[in-house]
């Protein structure tokens, strides 16, 4: 069985807004969401002060308090993104959600920070102050997948993906495979992550964060000669994937089709990516889709603005396509949203290609000569006269993912 899989719903919570009109306006204006984080001054050893937070997010008033108690910010971003996606698909409240043929594949780097800190203090200080009956549920790495399933009554398979920067792209890929093989008819798929000083501290210790603390609009700088590291973000984004004939039978609007998925691991180093294995992942996705590289009009890059990552990714892309394919990084607008980045970037990519344009990579003023010779989209937006693109993500541990998407135009 090899069924076709389409995307009928998309929704998310991002630093540029929670609807495509707001996000589109930010992209068109060349505006990123990076700002200075004065609250991080409480941690003097932390060098970076830059991030792209979702400042406007609040718990929706119609969410029942009894259910919300099991959610930290991570799960809440996922649940809200899923609500928006289900509404977009016309499936919010649909009785079919509980059929057992509708599952969830969802990922985050890990759970929410505050309950983790409370649990940690209880071990060190010998008391349970701040620990509640739901602290573990909020902190566990599969908190988003579980809370989404409970909140919307999903009774199909649950696939938690906690693989850092590839969490949501793996989730989309595994959801795609579940439907294509006939194991499920529809899936909620995506990822989310919250911003915290702990995330920043991790990358700080690796000398991977941007220190342009007085120039937030000028960072991050993917592929740029003068890059100085990544900027963290946060958010959530959900896709509704369905078997194509099921979607057509109910009269659903189809945004795009998932054509192929590839994933593998470097098996070599936890934090230093390998171009050759990245290239294999892209080739696996092309083979899965049954496409030649020439069919891909644009590569939606991981593009973190870290030295090793940018160079390896660009080399892998050239090795795969053997031509200067168009490539750009949306992290220059949203920062690095970790577990949410793959789904957010795929969502934005689909919307842009459907409308026939590509936003340029911000702050790419002087291309790093060590990056491979590709067609870097920079300076100003350009037309997109194609319908199929590749979306790539690469994570700590050497985990690589590649998705191929064909858009309805």
Vertex 310: Cα angle to 392 and 313 (nearest 5): 45
| Residue 336: active-site member | yes
Instruction: Clarify whether residues 204 and 311 are in a common domain.
Output: no
Find the catalytic residue in 192, 237, 336, 341.
336
CB burial readout 359-384, b (16+ within 10 A) else e: bbbbbbeeebeebbebebbbeeebeb
Instruction: Clarify whether residues 12 and 111 are in a common domain.
Output: yes
Alpha helix (H) residue ranges in 212-340: 244-249, 275-289, 307-321, 331-334
Segments forming the whole domain that contains residue 283: 257-407
- Last residue within a domain, chosen from 184, 219, 249: 249
Instruction: Clarify whether residues 194 and 270 are in a common domain.
Output: no
Instruction: Clarify whether residues 158 and 266 are in a common domain.
Output: no
**Among the listed residues 209, 211, 173, the one whose alpha carbon sits nearest the alpha carbon of residue 191:** 173
| Cα dist from 93 to 145, 187, 263, whole Å | 18, 15, 33
Instruction: Clarify whether residues 285 and 301 are in a common domain.
Output: yes
Q: What is the pLDDT of residue 127?
A: 78
Tens of pLDDT along the chain (409 residues)? 789 999 999 999 999 999 999 999 999 999 999 999 999 999 999 999 999 999 999 999 999 998 899 999 999 999 999 999 999 999 999 999 999 999 999 999 999 998 888 888 887 888 787 788 898 999 999 999 999 999 999 999 999 999 999 999 999 999 999 999 999 999 999 999 999 999 999 999 999 999 999 999 999 999 999 999 999 999 999 999 999 999 999 999 999 999 999 999 999 998 889 999 999 999 999 999 999 999 999 999 999 999 999 999 999 999 999 999 999 999 999 999 999 999 999 999 999 999 999 999 999 999 999 999 999 999 999 999 999 999 999 998 999 999 999 999 8
Task: Identify the CATH number of the domain in which residue 298 sits.
Answer: 3.40.47.10
| Cα dist from 274 to 25, 40, 373, 400, whole Å | 36, 33, 18, 10
Instruction: Clarify whether residues 229 and 266 are in a common domain.
Output: no
- Last residue within a domain, chosen from 249, 278, 310: 249
Find the catalytic residue in 199, 302, 341, 371.
302
Instruction: Clarify whether residues 237 and 303 are in a common domain.
Output: no
Contact 192, 340 (CB under 8 A): yes
Q: What is the pLDDT of residue 118?
A: 85
Instruction: Clarify whether residues 368 and 386 are in a common domain.
Output: yes
Instruction: Clarify whether residues 243 and 266 are in a common domain.
Output: no
- Last residue within a domain, chosen from 249, 276, 299: 249
Instruction: Clarify whether residues 21 and 164 are in a common domain.
Output: yes
Return the structure tokens found at 160. Answer: 């938690």
Q: What is the pLDDT of residue 133?
A: 82
Instruction: Clarify whether residues 338 and 209 are in a common domain.
Output: no
Residue 116, C-beta contacts closer than 8 angstroms, at least 6 positions apart: 110, 139
Helix (H) or strand (E) holding 146: helix 143-152
Count of the separate structural domains present in the chain: 2
Return the structure tokens found at 66. Answer: 């009894």
Q: What is the pLDDT of residue 122?
A: 84
Judging by DSSP bridges, how do beta strands 102-107 and 186-193 pair with one another?
parallel
Instruction: Clarify whether residues 50 and 108 are in a common domain.
Output: yes
Q: What is the pLDDT of residue 129?
A: 79
| Residue 302: active-site member | yes
DSSP string, 13-37: EBTTBSSHHHHHHHHHTT----EE-
How far, in Å, CA of 96 to CA of 83, rounded? 15
How far, in Å, CA of 272 to CA of 295, rounded? 30
**Among the listed residues 207, 81, 71, the one whose alpha carbon sits nearest the alpha carbon of residue 142:** 71
CB-based burial label for 244 (10 Å; 0-12, 13-18, 19+): middle
């Amino acid at each position: 069985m090899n069924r076709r899989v389409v995307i009928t719903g998309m929704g998310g919570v991002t630093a540029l807004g929670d609807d495509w009109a707001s996000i589109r306006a930010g992209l068109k204006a060349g505006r990123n969401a990076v700002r200075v984080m004065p609250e991080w001054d409480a941690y003097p050893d932390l060098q970076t002060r830059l991030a792209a937070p979702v400042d406007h997010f609040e718990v929706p008033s119609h969410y029942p308090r009894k259910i919300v108690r099991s959610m930290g910010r991570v799960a809440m971003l996922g649940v809200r993104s899923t609500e928006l996606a289900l509404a977009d698909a016309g499936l919010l409240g649909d009785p079919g959600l509980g059929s057992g043929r509708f599952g969830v594949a969802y990922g985050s780097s890990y759970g929410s920070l505050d309950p983790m800190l409370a649990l940690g203090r209880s071990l060190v200080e010998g008391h349970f102050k701040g620990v509640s009956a739901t602290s573990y549920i909020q902190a566990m790495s599969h908190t988003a997948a579980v809370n989404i399933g409970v909140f919307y009554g999903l009774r199909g398979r649950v696939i938690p993906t906690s693989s850092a920067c590839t969490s949501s792209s793996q989730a989309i890929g595994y959801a795609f495979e579940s439907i294509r093989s006939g194991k499920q008819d529809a899936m909620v798929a995506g990822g989310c992550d919250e911003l915290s000083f702990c995330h920043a501290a991790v990358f700080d210790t690796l000398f991977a964060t941007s220190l342009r603390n007085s120039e937030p609009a000028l960072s991050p700088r993917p592929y740029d000669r003068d890059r100085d590291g990544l900027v963290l973000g946060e958010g959530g984004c959900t896709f509704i994937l369905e078997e194509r004939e099921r979607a057509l039978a109910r009269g659903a609007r189809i945004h795009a089709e998932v054509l192929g998925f590839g994933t593998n691991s470097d098996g070599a180093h936890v934090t230093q990516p390998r171009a050759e294995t990245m290239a294999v992942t892209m080739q696996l996705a092309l083979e899965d889709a049954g496409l030649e590289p020439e069919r891909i009009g644009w590569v939606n890059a991981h593009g973190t603005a870290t030295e090793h990552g940018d160079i390896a990714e660009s080399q892998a892309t050239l090795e795969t396509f053997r031509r200067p394919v168009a490539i750009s990084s949306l992290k220059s607008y949203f920062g690095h949203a970790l577990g949410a980045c793959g789904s957010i970037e795929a969502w934005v990519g689909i919307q842009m290609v459907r409308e026939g344009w590509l936003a340029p990579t911000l702050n790419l003023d002087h291309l790093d000569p060590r990056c491979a010779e590709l067609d870097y989209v920079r300076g100003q937006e350009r037309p997109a006269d194609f319908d199929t693109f590749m979306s790539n993500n690469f994570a700590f541990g050497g985990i690589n993912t590649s998705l191929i998407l064909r858009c309805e135009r």
